[in-house]
Chain A
Amino acid sequence: MPQVSMIPEACRILAVTPHNSRDIHFVVEAPKQGFTPEPGQFVMVSLPGIGEAPFSLAALPGEGTAEGTFEMLIRRIGRLTNLITQLKAGDVLYVRGPYGRRVEWDQFEESNLILLAGGLGLAPLRSFVRRALGRRDRFGRIDLLVGARSPDELLFRTDLLVWASRQDDVHVHLTVDAAREGWDGRIGVITSLLDGLAVDTAGTTAFLCGPPVMYRHCLRRLLAMGLYEHNLWLTLERRMKCGLGLCGNCQVDGHYLCSEGPLVSYREVRHLRDVV
């Protein structure tokens, strides 16, 4: 087994775009060596003296973003993210990774894809959408279901507009929990977007990422629709501290999600406790 140091690499921020007052979109120079992540993997990002935390990848190098760069959406929610979200292009983040299981995409070929993204869950799923659109002919129908608390909290609006304009390639469905006047879209929870979706149950793969409360409801619904357990993929959030399968913070029934996940199929984890 390879021995991995926890020393990060200084990576320059190339662009910073706020999506709203607390969610900031970063384009970052990738670590120089061996940075070839698969969708669902993550990086550990730190500021020395402040701390380190895991972040998902909103774009992988060369997949909708330049080679040698990657993207993250970082929510201002704690001490570390308060400081990171004040950084500007040209500033430096300290990055190590990618970490997590590499899920091979060959297995999804010829499948229809349903991607369910709740809130910040769209950040990692964005790299899934880009992977699928980058090899569009290898997949069947693609549906992207996006839920947000309010229209103001819809993330990646430019991407959503671009994808919505490519109706032959991807069907974008949006819903918000609540809206003021002026929103003429759907209001309701994300599972309501599954209503009336014609699904070939055996040939469909679903990817889920969102707040903890979303998983149980979506899983129940997708299983009731007849999707197979091994075709339901969840990205499970935990507070990884090392990324190496060592520190134990991400353990679920003895499984270390930082290395055996965070992307797992429901069949692999359905018998485990305290998963979602």
Chain B
Amino acid sequence: MDNEIYRLPRERLDSLIERLARDYRVVGPVKQGATWMWTDVRPGMPLALDYPTTMLPPRQFFAPMRETLFRYHRGDDGRFAFEEPAGERPFALLGVHGCDLTALRVLRAFHESSCRDRLVPGRLDRSFVMGLACWTPCLPESFCRDMGSLESESPASLYVWDIGGVLLVKVQTARGREIMRDVGALDAATPDELVALRKRLRTRPEAFPAQLQFAPEKLATSLKAAESDILWEATADRCLSCGRCNLVCPTCTCFDVGDQASLSGGDGTRTRSWTGCQVPGFSRVAGGHDFRPGRAQQLRYRIFRKGKYMPERYGMVGCTGCGRCATHCPTHISIREIFLQVGRAP
């Protein structure tokens, strides 16, 4: 399948969406106001294949911001009975960048190793992903090339290069080929088109200047030398503990569990919803003691989790270099700058 690269004329995107809509809920990046958001798409809608990343990462489709674990209702005997929600329609995600593809692999590695979740891996299994190559950095804070995610093409069934004019699509799974066949897009790319693609790929790194000057594999050891509180205080002083970095991160997985009761109290739902290590009270226990009470400890924790604990436990660095956290931080705390500082240290 490695060399199966086909042509997809731009106007055929609609047939692709139509075909996918038979089996999936199709979402893709659509410009809404000044930003791009993952939006349900229908044929005829303008799919933004040149979007500079979305604010919220695709994990929202695999681990929703709030999801029902079960419904409860009080029976005639006064006891509560429980019912898990029915499975939902699987997603097809169109136009996923390398950083977010990498993040989907991180999500899988996490959910299949230390823990016993079935919801997220189940959705990863059932979904359909079309990856999309980037030609320029999405954000000033992006450093995907340094983190090795720029070239990431897995786990996409189809992977698209927009070389102007026609789209070139690499088929990476049997399912991907089936979809391409159904939309009648199994014309091989022409030699000229492949030459054009190769040329763009060769010059692409120039658009992504190296920002870290060290391999991400070195992060774990570099961070080990940066444990002292005092190193983190200057940066953490700016932190407002708003938790935006956690919300926009494509690899954050932490959640809170809570009940939403009806006013009668007789029924309701228990849900899990996103939370994060930067939110005050995250590490607080009953009685009020907080094991990571300071912002320096909390910031260090976030950075260590991404750069050290995750690679050590799941075999993948937890930062894809997407640049979202720094972009959306109200005080511009940049994970790239922090990595740069710890990596530069002798």
Chain A residues packing against B (C-beta within 8 Å): 1-8, 10, 46, 48-53, 75, 77-78, 81, 92, 94, 211-212, 237-239, 241-242, 244-249, 251-254, 256, 259, 273-275
Contact = CB atoms under 8 A, between A and B. Distances in A.
B82 A7 contact: yes
A6 B115 contact: no
Given A53-B286, A92-B79, A241 B256 contact: yes
Contacts, number: 123
A248 to B, nearest CB: 3
A249 B82 contact: no
Given A50-B259, A211-B287, A246 B117 contact: yes
B297 to A, nearest CB: 6
A48 B285 contact: no
B309 A253 contact: yes
Given A77-B287, A256-B114, A48 B254 contact: no
Contacts of A48: 72, 80, 259, 261, 268, 270
A245 B70 CA distance: 19
B257 A52 contact: yes
A150 to B, nearest CB: 17
Contacts of A92: 78-79
B297 A51 contact: no
Contacts of A253: 304, 309
B10 interface: no
Contacts of A211: 287, 289
B126 interface: no
A241 B255 contact: yes
A246 B254 CA distance: 7
Interface string B54-96: 0000000000000001101000001110101000000000000
Given A77-B287, A246-B253, A3 B305 contact: no
A4 to B, nearest CB: 5
Given A238-B291, A242-B272, A245-B114, 4 more contacts: A7-B70, A211-B289, A244-B116, A245-B115
A184 to B, nearest CB: 30
A47 to B, nearest CB: 8
Contacts of B36: none
15 contacts: A1-B116, A48-B72, A52-B259, A212-B285, A237-B285, A239-B284, A239-B285, A241-B257, A242-B272, A249-B282, A251-B254, A253-B304, A253-B309, A254-B309, A274-B292
Contacts of A254: 304-305, 308-310, 312-313
Contact of B118 (A3, A52, A237, A275): A3
Given A48-B72, A259-B114, A249 B283 contact: yes
Contacts of A245: 114-116
B258 A51 contact: yes
A37 B69 CA distance: 25
B164 interface: no
B227 interface: yes
A273 B227 contact: yes
Interface residues of B, number: 49
Contact of B297 (A94, A241, A246, A274): A274
Interface string B214-258: 000000000000010000000000000000000000000111111
Contacts of A3: 116-118
A246 B289 CA distance: 22
Most central of A4, A52, A244, A249 by chain B CB within 10 Å: A249
Nearest to A260: B114
Contacts of B268: 48-49
A67 to B, nearest CB: 23
Contacts of B82: 7-8
Nearest to A53: B286
B165 interface: no
B17 to A, nearest CB: 33
A247 B256 contact: yes
A155 B190 CA distance: 81
Given A6-B69, A52-B270, A242 B257 contact: yes
Contacts of A259: 114-115
Contacts of A51: 257-259
Nearest to B78: A92
B259 to A, nearest CB: 5
Nearest to A246: B115
A273 B223 CA distance: 13
A46 B118 CA distance: 22
A5 B84 contact: yes
Contacts of B300: 273
9 cross-chain pairs, A with B, having the tightest CB-CB distances, nearest first = A254-B309, A248-B254, A49-B261, A245-B115, A246-B115, A48-B72, A3-B118, A241-B257, A7-B82
A245 B314 CA distance: 13
B277 interface: yes
Given A8-B82, A48-B80, A247 B257 contact: yes
Contacts of B117: 3, 244, 246
A247 to B, nearest CB: 5
B265 interface: yes
A253 to B, nearest CB: 6
A249 B277 CA distance: 8
Interface string B90-129: 0000000000000000000001101111100000000000
A247 B80 contact: no
